[in-house]
């Protein structure tokens, strides 16, 4: 089993480092968008938007829903 | 009162005859101080020729991403470096999405796929999906699957799909600047076959692709010539990685001018607020549009982006005393 840190290393919208700089534009855009990149490993996730909510799957880190 | 609004009052409100291209252009060019009067007139036209009901629809993506076409606004094209990955929705989840949509009071559920046109696998998925929805959910099913063959049109009719969406996206003269992998005429041909089949035609587009105001008027006139049952009006939401990803969003007042102008071009059509209204017009814009010619909304989320909660729109309709169109009224 891999140890998963709780820190988000990557911006889930643009996929760039989340620790180096803040991403206010991404944070604001995310109010009307689902995440696209896994915050733990930066992989592009498989995202399904539904009329209510969304799901996003990283092959390594599993599914998140919103 | 500007002359064009006087003319529209007689011709459109009085006689139900839409403005032509020159008339639409005059509305699109109205100075800001006349915008409230234009919106009021468009609202009066909608109330007179369509009534107070608002048609509520939900949409879902059956097949997301990986599209071989190059529509420059689209995050689902496989030709750009967009972060959207290819994904298929399974049938139980499709039925669940239809149930969520019906629970809002919506009468329309549109199943969308990011494809040039359907292949055998997609048509099979549609047949099973539409049957499963019809068995469990009280809602009308529409579809948007790209360009169709005559056989596919007939198959969709046979499945019980009552309306088909295929957007021209923009006017004929600007289309080659936006899409190079197929032509405006190819889209028109699908629309012609859909209309001939007896399915309702849903055809609109996106404003803010870089078209001129003249080309917006051209687009309204071309839609009016097609005379669709429904016109969904989108405003560009610039998507990262697409060729139009850095374009500015449409100014709120220009978006409202367009809503009024398109209503005055097509007094009887269902004019639907589709994507981009949240970023172009904010929360207040939804109200202004519904009081300026819009008589239909997409509630909930879109295909790859999120909308405001359905409850926010439904509460607004309630406040505006605009009843949600009932299923019995559409059957
Ligand atoms: S055909 Fe549809 S899904 Fe494909 S790129 Fe164009 S708009 Fe996007
Ligand atoms: Zn970011
Ligand atoms: Zn991951």
* Boundaries of every domain in chain A: 1-66
Q: Inter-chain contact B301–A49, Cβ cutoff 8 Å? A: yes
The sign of the dihedral angle between the CA atoms of B15, B17, B20, B23 is positive
Closest-CA residue of B relative to A32 is: B306
Assigned architecture for domain B18-317? Alpha-Beta Barrel (3.20)
Cβ-contact B82, B239 below 8 angstroms? yes
Pick B45 or B1 by higher pLDDT: B45
Q: What is the pLDDT of residues B90-136, one digit of tens each?
A: 999 999 999 999 999 999 999 999 999 999 999 999 999 999 999 99
pLDDT of residue A2: 42
Closest C-alpha to ligand 1, atom 2: B114
pLDDT of residue A1: 40
Q: What is the pLDDT of residues A34-56, one digit of tens each?
A: 999 999 999 999 999 999 999 99
pLDDT of residue A4: 47
Domains of chain B by residue range: 18-317
Evaluate if residue A5 carries a pLDDT over 60.
no
Q: How confident is the model over B50-63, as a mean pLDDT? A: 97
Q: Inter-chain contact A50–B85, Cβ cutoff 8 Å? A: no
pLDDT of residue A6: 59
The token duo for A37 is 């990149």
| Average of per-residue pLDDT values in chain B | 96
Of B104, B278, B300, the CB nearest to A32: B278
Q: What is the percentage of chain B residues whose pLDDT exceeds 90?
A: 95
Q: What is the percentage of chain A residues whose pLDDT exceeds 90?
A: 86
Contact list in B for residue A15 (CB cut-off 8 A) is: 83
Residue among B63, B301, B313, B314 with most chain A CBs within 10 A, to mutate: B301
pLDDT of residue B259: 98
Question: How far is residue B305's CA from residue B237's CA, in Å, rounded to a whole number?
Answer: 9
Q: How confident is the model over B224-231, as a mean pLDDT? A: 98
Q: How confident is the model over A6-18, as a mean pLDDT? A: 90
Q: Which of B144, B162, B163, B156 minimizes the C-alpha distance to B61?
A: B144
pLDDT of residue B331: 47
Residue among B98, B306, B309, B310 with most chain A CBs within 10 A, to mutate: B306
Q: How confident is the model at residue B50 (pLDDT cuts 50, 70, 90)?
A: very high
pLDDT of residue A8: 85
Question: How far is residue B145's CA from residue B116's CA, in Å, rounded to a whole number?
Answer: 8
Q: Are strands B163-165 and B140-144 parallel, antiparallel or unpaired?
A: parallel
Q: Model's pTM, two decimal places? A: 0.95
Cα(A21) to centroid of ligand 2, in Å? Answer: 9
Q: Inter-chain contact B305–A32, Cβ cutoff 8 Å? A: yes
The token duo for A10 is 């990557």
Which protein residues touch ligand 1 with a CB less than 6 Å away?
Answer: B 67, 69, 71, 74, 76-77, 114, 146
Q: Which of B329, B290, B330 minimizes the C-alpha distance to B313?
A: B290
pLDDT of residue B266: 98
Q: What is the pLDDT of residues B266-323, one digit of tens each?
A: 999 999 999 889 999 887 789 999 999 999 999 999 999 999 889 999 999 999 999 9
The token duo for A17 is 């480092």
Q: Are strands B296-298 and B55-64 parallel, antiparallel or unpaired?
A: parallel
């Amino acid at each position: 089993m891999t140890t998963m840190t709780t820190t988000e290393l990557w911006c889930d919208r643009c996929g760039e480092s989340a620790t180096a700089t803040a991403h206010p534009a991404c944070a604001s855009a995310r109010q009307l968008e689902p995440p696209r990149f896994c915050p733990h490993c930066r992989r592009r996730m498989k995202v399904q938007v539904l009329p209510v909510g969304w799901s996003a799957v990283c092959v390594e880190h599993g599914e998140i829903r919103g | 009162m500007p002359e064009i609004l006087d003319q529209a009052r007689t011709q459109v409100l009085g006689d139900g005859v839409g403005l032509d291209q020159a008339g639409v252009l005059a509305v699109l060019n109205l100075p800001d101080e006349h915008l409230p009067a234009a919106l009021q007139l468009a609202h009066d036209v909608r109330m007179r020729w369509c009534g107070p009901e608002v048609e509520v629809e939900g949409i879902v993506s059956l097949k997301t991403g990986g599209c071989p076409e190059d529509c420059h606004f689209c995050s689902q094209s496989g030709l750009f470096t967009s972060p959207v990955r290819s994904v298929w929705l399974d049938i139980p989840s499709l039925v669940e999405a239809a149930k969520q949509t019906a629970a809002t009071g919506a009468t329309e559920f549109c199943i969308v796929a990011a494809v040039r046109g359907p292949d055998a696998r997609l048509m099979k998925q549609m047949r099973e999906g539409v049957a499963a929805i019809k068995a469990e959910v009280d809602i009308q099913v529409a579809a948007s699957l790209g360009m169709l063959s005559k056989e596919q049109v007939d198959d969709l009719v046979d499945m019980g799909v009552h309306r088909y969406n295929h957007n021209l996206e923009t006017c004929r003269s600007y289309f080659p600047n936006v899409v190079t992998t197929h032509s405006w005429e190819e889209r028109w041909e699908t629309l012609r076959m859909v209309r001939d089949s007896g399915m309702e035609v849903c055809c609109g587009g996106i404003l803010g692709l870089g078209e001129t105001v003249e080309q917006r008027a051209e687009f309204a006139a071309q839609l009016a010539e097609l005379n669709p049952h429904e016109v969904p009006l989108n405003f560009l939401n610039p998507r990262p990685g697409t060729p139009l990803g850095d374009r500015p969003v449409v100014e709120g007042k220009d978006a409202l001018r367009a809503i009024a102008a398109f209503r005055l071009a097509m007094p009887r059509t269902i004019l639907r607020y589709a994507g981009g209204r949240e970023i172009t017009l904010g929360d207040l814009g939804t109200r202004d549009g519904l009081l300026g010619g819009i008589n239909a909304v997409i509630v909930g989320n879109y295909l790859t982006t999120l909308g405001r909660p359905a409850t926010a729109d439904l509460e607004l309709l309630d406040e505006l005393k605009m009843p949600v169109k009932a299923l019995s009224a559409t059957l």
